[in-house]
Structure 1
Amino acid sequence: MGEKVAPDAEPLGKGYFVCVSKEHRFGTDAFLLADFAAPHRFDKVCDLCSGNGIVAFVMARNFSPAKIYAVEIQKSAYELLAESKKKSFAATSSDVIIPVMADLREWRSAEPLDLITCNPPYKTGNSGIKNRADETSIARHEMLCTVYDVCAAAKRSLRYGGRLCMCNRPERIADVICAMRECKIEPKRLRPVQKDPQSDPWLILVEGRLGGGNYLKMEKPLYIKGENGEEYSQEMKRIYSID
C-alpha cells in the first residue's frame, strides 16, 4: 500500500480553509451556488453532496448562518471535509459546520431546516464515459443519487416554506424542475450563468420553496468575464472576494 498523501489546504480568506485532493476539488460553480443561496444570519442550513465542504465553508465565511450540516457519502471526501473544519477552527466555532457521513437517500435532519443547497452530479448514471477513479465518477455521474433523490431529501428536512437551491447544466434543468414539483417544491428563481453576453449559458442556478406558489422569476444572466476584456466581472469579483 502507498503512503497516504496529506491533503492540500486552499485558503478561502477570513481564516477559512478547504482541503482538496486529486479526486475532490472545487470549481466556480461552488462559489456561485453559495452566493445564490445567500443564507440568513440565523438560518439552519444543510449542504447535500457536500464533497470537501466548499459550499458550506463559503456560506459560513460570507453569511454566518447559525448552523450548516454538510452531508457527504464518500469517506474520502468526508475526511477532507472534517480536516477542513479542523483547519478553519480559528474562524468558526466548532458547532457551526457539522460534517455528516450519510447517504442522502436515507438521511433526514433532526430539526426543520431553512435552507438546503446542493451541487449535484451533473451527468445521468448512464451518460458519457465514466472516469476511472470511483470517487470522480460518483462526483460527476448520478451513481449514488439523482436529482429526484436530492429533492426528496429536501422535502423530508425543510420546514414549510424552506428553500432548496441547486445548480446544474442547462440540459438538466427540465429534470430539476420536474423533480422539485414532484416533491412539492415549487421553483421560484432561475438564473443562467454565462461566460459573457455572447456565450450560451453553461450553468443554471435554481431556487425552490417547499409548498410555494406557482410563480417563477427568471433573473438576469450572471456574467463571468468583465465588459472590457477583464478576467472577471464586478459581480464575480464580489463573489470571489477580489478587491
Structure 2
Amino acid sequence: MEHSTEILYNKTEVYCSSVHRFGSDALLLARFCPPKRGQKAADLCSGCGIVSLEWHDSGHRGPCTALELQPEASALLAEAVAAQGPELAHITPVRADLRAYREGEGSFDLCACNPPYFTAGFQSSNAARATARHETDCTLEDVCACGFRLLKDGGRLALCHRPERLAEVLAVLRAHRLEPKRLAFVKNRAESAPWLFLVEAQKNRKTGLKIEPDILIAAGAAMYGKH
C-alpha cells in the first residue's frame, strides 16, 4: 500500500496515507496514558496505529490490540508492524467494529481512544474522513461501553476530546461506571484557551479527580521526528 512514513523518537515507523494520518492529539493521548511494559492494552479507533506504535516506541511490550473499523487504516498498521520485524509482533491490528467487539473482555489493563469529535456540522465528502471526525459509526457512548466491557476492574480508559464537550464526556464516563481520575488541558501557550483535554478514568472505582498541570505545545509537548 502506498504510504508516507513518520519516524518516532526511538525510530519506530508509522505508515500514513493522505486520509489515514495522525495529529498531535493522538500523540499526546499516547503519552498521557502509557501502559506499563507488560500490561495488556487496547488502542480503540486506532487509525494508522499511532497510539499503539508510540506506546511501543516508549517501551511497551505487552499484548496490544489495535481496533479499527476502516480496512485501509488497519492495513496501514498491519504493514508497518510486519515491516519492522518480530519486535512489533505484540501489536495486533484488528479490523472490527468496537460496538460489537468482545474478544478478551474483562482482561485489559488499559484502553485508549482518540474518538470522533463532532456530532453535527460540515462533514467531508470523503467517507473515511467523515467517519474519523463525526460520530456516524462510533459515538462517545459506544467508546465508553466498549472500554467498560474490555477492561478488568480498576483498568483505565483514556480519551482525548474537545473542551466544549468536557461535561458530556465526564457524564458519559460515569454513566458507564468509568470514574474520571486524571484530567489535563492542552494549550498552545500558557495564556491561550485550551483546545484539547485528556482524561483517564478507572472501571468501578470511587470518586476522586486530579487536575494535572496544563500541557503546553509551545514547550514542545507534541514534537516528534519526521522522515
> Fold match, TM over 0.5?
yes
Q: So what's the TM-score if we normalise by structure 2? A: 0.94
* Structure-2 separation of matches of 1:101 and 1:115: 19
Which residue of the other structure, out of 108, 114, 138, is the alignment partner of 2:109?
114
Which position in structure 1 is the counterpart of 2:34? 38
Specify every segment of 5 or more residues in structure 1 that has no aligned partner in the other structure, as ranges: 227-231
What amino acid sits opposite 1:14 in the alignment?
A: N
* Structure-2 separation of matches of 1:32 and 1:13: 14
What amino acid sits opposite 2:138 in the alignment?
A: C
1:201 matches 2:197: no
1:99 matches 2:93: yes
Bigger Rg over Cα: 1
Task: Return 59-68 or 100-109, whichever deviates more.
Answer: 59-68
Q: SS where residue 123 of structure 1 aligns?
A: coil
Q: So what's the TM-score if we normalise by structure 1? A: 0.88
Which residue of the other structure, out of 67, 70, 76, is the alignment partner of 2:66?
70
RMSD of equivalent CA atoms: 1.7
How much identity, in percent, do the aligned residues show?
A: 41
* Structure-2 separation of matches of 1:151 and 1:24: 23
What amino acid sits opposite 1:110 in the alignment?
A: G
**1:9, distance to aligned residue in structure 2 (A):** 2.2
Which residue of the other structure, out of 75, 82, 85, is the alignment partner of 2:78?
82
Which position in structure 2 is the counterpart of 1:151? 144
Q: Is the 8 A contact 1:9 1:84 kept in 2?
A: no
* Structure-1 separation of matches of 2:15 and 2:93: 14
Q: Is the 8 A contact 1:38 1:63 kept in 2?
A: no
**1:93, distance to aligned residue in structure 2 (A):** 4.0
**1:87, distance to aligned residue in structure 2 (A):** 2.4
Which position in structure 1 is the counterpart of 2:48? 52
Q: SS where residue 157 of structure 2 aligns?
A: strand
* Structure-2 separation of matches of 1:45 and 1:208: 14
Q: Is the 8 A contact 1:187 1:216 kept in 2?
A: yes
* Structure-2 separation of matches of 1:133 and 1:145: 17
* Structure-2 separation of matches of 1:113 and 1:56: 14
**1:84, distance to aligned residue in structure 2 (A):** 1.4
